[in-house]
């Protein structure tokens, strides 16, 4: 066995017997409560496949959500990041196989003129072709770890796309509820304005016959103008929400404006959600899955850095063929080749390689804390949403009864004032209280819908529902 053969055998045996440095990743574990504190035994479970926005039974909202899932630009960017992650996996895979490159050239050279009284006119054509091969043997598993990190990053990019869908569902439905709230508030303001105009007419009639004073007319007019002043704010908020919805669906301002102008009630969910158990978050919440996959990537990166602490071996070789032909008829053919291993041995770098390992280890520990934070934050969000959803229904019912009572009180106050058995201030106070009660009821109804949305999103529901995959 000659020297070259012995070298090749040594290198190949080292490659076969090589190990993969760095920690072998295992998914992290965390102790969670067996159930949510505010959990209810009733209700249907929320999962990524649950199209919870259909519970509002609003065809326009369903269409807007579908348009958003198809055209939202944040989702589009997230999908492009998946394509980028796939490309990075292919790049990492390419490092594990030999690289082969080739080149070819052709040149003509000659000499024309005189030298020492003799003329010269020579030409020569030279053609050459070469092949170069190089293979860095992955003895310590650097490229295997790099591919492992790339695959984990690809998984994280898929989870990030799901997070973008979930975020869109939250933003579109929230904006739609707010839009309907502003419509309801504007309608209440218009009805209040009409009512106060009637009251102003009544007071002026009473003033004409000496039963009301100028002060009462001024007070009624002031109350009317206060109601009129509240209307533009609701209208501005309505148009801003409509434009925001168009933006979220990837369209120009004005999209869906004609449809939403027709008006509709504030959405109310016809669905009793069940939050499941905290452990469900680990698979249902895409942000938690993304954090876990990023942790896997960071763990593999430790092995990439650790592999640089050890020598590396590269097999390289070349083969070149050159053919030269002279105009006089002479020619030459030359074949050259080379092959051999190259060892890269780290001797001294000022501690840079060790520092890179410590850096990778610290980044992995940081990512573990980020994953744990996402889990605990998710559990907190569901707990808070459960409490808010359960309590808000009682508040809405109480405010509805309050508004009905104030409406009756306002009617009685006007009748009593007409009959002269009630003071005018009773009328103003009853109308003001009714206005505030109706606005409070509308806000509570909207908040109930928002609490439902928050609960479904916190539980990780809907991003894989029909039309959202």
- CATH 1.20.1600.10 positions along the chain are 12-96+138-309+350-458
pTM: 0.85
**Residues 61-86, mean pLDDT to the nearest whole number:** 94
**Residues 178-191, mean pLDDT to the nearest whole number:** 94
Fold annotation for 12-96+138-309+350-458? Outer membrane efflux proteins (OEP) (1.20.1600)
**Contacting residues for 373 by C-beta, under 8 A, at least 6 apart:** none
Looking at residue 83, its pLDDT comes to 95
**Range 357-360, long-range pairs (CB < 8 A, 24+ positions):** 357/302, 357/305, 357/306, 357/309, 359/305, 360/298, 360/301, 360/302, 360/304, 360/305, 360/306
282-311 pLDDT per residue, tens:
999 999 999 999 999 999 999 999 998 999
391-428 pLDDT per residue, tens:
888 889 999 999 999 888 888 888 887 777 667 777 88
Looking at residue 343, its pLDDT comes to 84
Q: Could you write out the three-class secondary structure of the chain?
A: CCHHHHHHHHHHHHHHCCCCCCCCCCCCCCCCCCCCCCCCCCCEECCCCCCHHHHHCCHHHHHHHHHHHHHCHHHHHHHHHHHHHHHHHHHHHHCCCCEEEEEEEEEEEEEEEEECCEEEEEEEEEEEEEEEEEEEECCCCHHHHHHHHHHHHHHHHHHHHHHHHHHHHHHHHHHHHHHHHHHHHHHHHHHHHHHHHHHHHHHHHHHHCCCCCHHHHHHHHHHHHHHHHHHHHHHHHHHHHHHHHHHHCCCCCCCCHHHHHCCCCCCCCCCCEECCCHHHHHHHCHHHHHHHHHHHHHHHHHHHHHHCCCCEEEEEEEEEEEEEEECCCCEEEEEEEEEEEEEECCCCCCCHHHHHHHHHHHHHHHHHHHHHHHHHHHHHHHHHHHHHHHHHHHHHHHHHHHHHHHHHHHHHHHHHHHHCCCCHHHHHHHHHHHHHHHHHHHHHHHHHHHHHHHHHHHCCCCCCCCCCC
Q: Mean pLDDT over all residues of the chain?
A: 87
Query: Residue 60: pLDDT band by 50, 70, 90 thresholds?
Result: very high
What's domain 100-137+311-345's architecture? Single Sheet (2.20)
**Cα–Cα distance, 289 to 30 (Å, whole number):** 14
Rg for the chain (alpha carbons), in Å?
38
Query: Residue 4: pLDDT band by 50, 70, 90 thresholds?
Result: very low
Query: Residue 468: pLDDT band by 50, 70, 90 thresholds?
Result: very low
Lowest mean pLDDT among 48-62, 183-197, 454-468: 454-468
């Amino acid at each position: 066995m000659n020297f070259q053969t012995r070298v090749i055998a040594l290198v190949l045996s080292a490659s076969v017997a090589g190990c993969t440095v760095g920690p072998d990743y295992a998914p992290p574990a965390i102790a969670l409560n067996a159930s949510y504190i505010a959990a209810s035994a009733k209700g249907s479970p929320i999962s990524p496949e649950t199209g919870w926005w259909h519970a509002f039974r609003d065809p326009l909202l369903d269409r807007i959500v579908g348009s958003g899932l198809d055209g939202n630009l944040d989702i589009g960017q997230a999908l492009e990041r998946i394509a980028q992650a796939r490309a990075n996996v292919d790049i990492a895979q390419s490092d594990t196989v030999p690289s082969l490159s080739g080149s070819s050239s052709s040149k003509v050279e000659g000499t024309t003129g005189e030298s020492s009284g003799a003329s010269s006119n020579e030409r020569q054509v030279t053609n050459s072709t070469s092949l170069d091969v190089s293979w860095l043997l992955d003895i310590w598993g650097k490229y295997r770890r790099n591919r492992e990190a790339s695959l984990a990053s690809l998984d994280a990019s898929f989870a990030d796309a799901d997070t973008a869908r979930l975020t869109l569902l939250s933003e579109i439905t929230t904006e739609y509820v707010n839009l309907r709230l502003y419509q309801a508030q504007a309608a209440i303001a218009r009805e209040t304005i009409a009512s106060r105009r009637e009251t102003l007419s009544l007071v002026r009639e009473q003033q004409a016959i000496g039963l009301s004073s100028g002060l009462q007319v001024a007070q009624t007019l002031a109350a009317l103008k206060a109601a009129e002043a509240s209307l533009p704010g609701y209208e501005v908020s309505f148009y801003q929400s409509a434009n925001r919805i168009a933006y979220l669906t990837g369209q120009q301002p004005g999209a869906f404006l004609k449809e939403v102008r027709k008006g509709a009630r504030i959405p109310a969910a016809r669905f009793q959600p069940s939050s499941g158990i905290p452990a469900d978050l680990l698979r249902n919440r895409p942000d938690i899955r993304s954090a876990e996959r990023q942790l896997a990537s960071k763990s593999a990166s430790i092995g990439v850095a650790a592999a640089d602490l050890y020598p590396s071996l590269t097999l390289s070789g070349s083969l070149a063929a050159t053919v030269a032909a002279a105009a006089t008829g002479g020619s030459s053919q030359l074949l050259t080749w080379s092959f051999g291993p190259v060892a890269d041995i780290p001797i001294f770098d000022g501690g840079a390689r060790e520092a890179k390992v410590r850096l990778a280890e610290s980044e992995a520990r940081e990512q573990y804390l980020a994953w744990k934070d996402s889990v605990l934050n998710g559990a907190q969000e569901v707990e808070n949403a459960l409490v808010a959803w359960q309590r808000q229904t009682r508040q809405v019912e109480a405010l509805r009864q309050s508004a009905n009572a104030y409406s009756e009180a306002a009617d009685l106050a006007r009748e009593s004032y007409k009959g002269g058995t009630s003071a005018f201030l009773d009328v103003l106070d009853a109308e003001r209280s009714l206005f505030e009660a109706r606005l409070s009821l509308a806000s509570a109804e909207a908040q109930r819908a928002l609490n439902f949305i928050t609960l479904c999103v916190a539980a990780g529901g809907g991003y894989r529902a029909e039309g959202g995959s």
